[in-house]
Structure 1
Amino acid sequence: MNYCYASKEIDREKAFQPIWSNELNEVFSDVAQYYDRANIFATLGLLNRLRDRFISTIDIQPNHKVLDVCAGTNVIGISLLKKQPELDVYAVDRSVAMQEVGRDRAQRHGFRIKAFICDVHHLPFPDNYFDVVTLQWATRHLRVIDVFSEINRVLKPGGHFHHCDMLRPANKLVEEFYYLYLKAIMGIIPRVFRSGPASLKCRNYFIDAIRMFYSTEELSALLSELGFSQISGHSVLGGTVGIHKARKPQLAAG
């Protein structure tokens, strides 16, 4: 493992582990009922377009086993089932409240998603189990090396990992304007959606987590370090969002 990535992960964990362990569950319990509406608001209505772009990168076939990591309210699983109803979709998340919203949403669409509440750094599935794994809008709250390694483990050889998240813009000017926007929007959302104390307490964290996160290019390089191949990474909205696709290599013959 490249030293700079290992060192960065140590720094991220030192800075944020108390929040990751003790506060984020309360935050997501607080925001679960309005989480999707708040994200649409925060992205000025662009979230659905970003989601459609992400979904368009995912190649799925009937009976594929698909795992959605940090599935939240099951928006991605439902979108994939609309695209291919014969998928076998699994969801993992740490938040019971978010998954309760996701379960109800899937049922309203007539879909069944197999849900597991767990620590996503330790996925409760055997090796080489899934054809496709997705992860979106959550990686900045995780130990990236650990969770990406677990995703590699549960993917079948030749399977694909699809990732989308808010990233740190590579352009410094864009980066500073981005933080100003986030600071402003994080001041507005609690008033619009009447956020509770847990969410209010973590407003600065959500900006700091991006400051210490990766750019699109850095995340591509990290995926390569962890053994993924055929990696593509695309920056969206000036590098504030990155969409990645990577493949677990096939086993060598013989």
Structure 2
Amino acid sequence: MNEPVNSPSTVSFGYEDIDAREKTARVGEVFSAVARKYDVMNDAMSGGMHRLWKDRFVRRVKPRSGEQILDMAGGTGDIAFRMEARGAQITVSDINQEMLDVGLERAVKRGIDTLVWSRQNAEELTFADKSFDAYTIAFGIRNVTHIDKALAEAYRVLRRGGRFYCLEFSTTEWPGFKEVYDTYSHKLVPRIGQAIAGDADSYRYLIESIRRFPTMPEFEKMIREAGFTQTKVEPIMGGLVAIHSGWKV
């Protein structure tokens, strides 16, 4: 496995380049601001399609009874609830306590008491080496400060034969649709955020963070460089969203 390269002193925060030491706190402020309306906004922004993407993602993960799975950046529980229903033992981790609080409340309402909830930084996990059979992260990795460190940590905590799955926005390659989506996301999503969550700026950042995220081939290369093999990219809607996967052998 390759170690993460020396991290840059500046990183992207939406379209800004900021001191790397500031990003974790600033991203934290974004998710603290949107936590209570996060799932409502996901429905509004995607027309409910995020639910289908997450269903498809979990089908690819194939959680099985008795498996130990770490769901990173999974605060509100969307992925964890789906995997728990298949019998896996899920640890839900997120750097943001407000997001975890929302997930805990949702779990109580659903009568689900088998999940483990743990506040964690994806770049510095406190779990022991080789603790999990699978590592999942959905719509979260683009928000970490140093993606290479998060990938290295995912590799470290997985057992041999463990699998890595990431659901993340990318750049659609469908002709015509890309331009329509760019207009929608940049002009309308912040307005929707203001109307529903009273917060245009946070949703402006979330859209800009998608644009600054590596392309599908670039991100797959990063996953390989972290040590994973048999990497695969499954584009959805031409790459608007993609499922990335790899194995630790």
Q: Give the AA of the match of 1:88.
A: Q
Structure 1 moving runs of 4+ over 4 Å:
5-11, 170-176
1:115 aligns with 117
Distance 1:213 1:239 in 2: 13
Q: CA deviation at 1:18?
A: 6.4
Q: 1:181 to 1:11 in 2, by over 3 A?
A: farther
Amino acid at match of 2:49: L
Distance change >3 Å, CA 161–CA 10, structure 1 → 2: farther
How big is each residue's C-alpha offset from its partner over 1:27-54, in whole Å with a ceiling of 9 and x where there is no partner?
A: 2222111111101110122111111111
CA shift for structure 1 position 95? 1.1
1:78-101 Cα deviation digits (max 9, x unpaired): 1101122xx221111111111011
Which residue pairs with 1:228 in the alignment? 228
Secondary structure of 1:128's aligned partner: coil
C-alpha distance 228-25 of structure 1, shift in aligned 2 (>3 A): same
Q: Secondary structure at the match of 1:12?
A: strand
Q: Secondary structure at the match of 1:83?
A: coil
- 2:45 and 2:166 mapped to 1: Cα distance? 20
Partner of 2:89: 88
SS in 2 for 1:57: helix
- Worse overlay, 129-138 or 54-63: 54-63
- Relative distance call for 1:34 and 1:57 in structure 2 (3 A) is same
CA RMSD in angstroms, aligned pairs only: 2.6
Retained in 2: the 8 A contact 1:190–1:200? Answer: yes
Provide the rounded CA distance (Å) in 2 between the counterparts of 1:12 and 1:175: 25
- 2:138 counterpart residue number: 136
2:100 matched to which residue of 1?
99
Q: Which moved more, 1:207-216 or 1:129-138?
A: 207-216
Q: Percent identity?
A: 25
Q: Secondary structure at the match of 1:30?
A: helix
Amino acid at match of 1:200: A
Residues in 2 aligned to 1:203 and 1:48: alpha-carbon distance in whole angstroms: 19
Q: Structure 2: state its 5+ residue gaps.
A: none
Q: What is the count of residue pairs matched by the alignment?
A: 242
Give the aligned residue type for 1:133.
Y
- Aligned residue type for 1:148: L
Q: Give, as a single letter, the amino acid of the residue that structure 1 aligns with 2:115.
A: I
Cα 1:19–1:169, aligned 2, differ >3 Å: closer, same or farther? farther
Where in structure 2 are the equivalents of 1:30-109 lying within 5 Å? 30-84=33-87, 87-109=88-110
1:252 maps to what in 2? none
Q: 1:208 to 1:25 in 2, by over 3 A?
A: same
Give the secondary-structure state (helix, strand or coil) at the position aligned to 1:133. Answer: strand
Cα shift readout 1:84-137 (whole Å, capped 9, x = no counterpart): 2xx221111111111011011122222221111122210110101100110010
Q: Using the TM superposition, give the Cα deviation of residue 174 of structure 1 relative to its aligned residue in structure 2, in angstroms.
A: 5.0
Q: Which moved more, 1:217-226 or 1:97-106?
A: 217-226
- Aligned AA for 2:85? K
The unaligned stretches of length 5 or more in structure 1 are 250-254
- What per-residue deviation string (whole Å, max 9, x for no partner) do you get for residues 130-160 of structure 1? 0011001011111211101100000001011
Aligned equivalents of 2:52 and 2:220: distance in 1? 22
Normalised by the length of structure 1, the TM-score is 0.85
How far, CA to CA, are the matches of 1:74 and 1:181 in structure 2?
27
Distance 1:13 1:192, change over 3 A: closer
TM-score under structure 2 length normalisation: 0.87
Deviates most, 19-28 or 88-97: 19-28
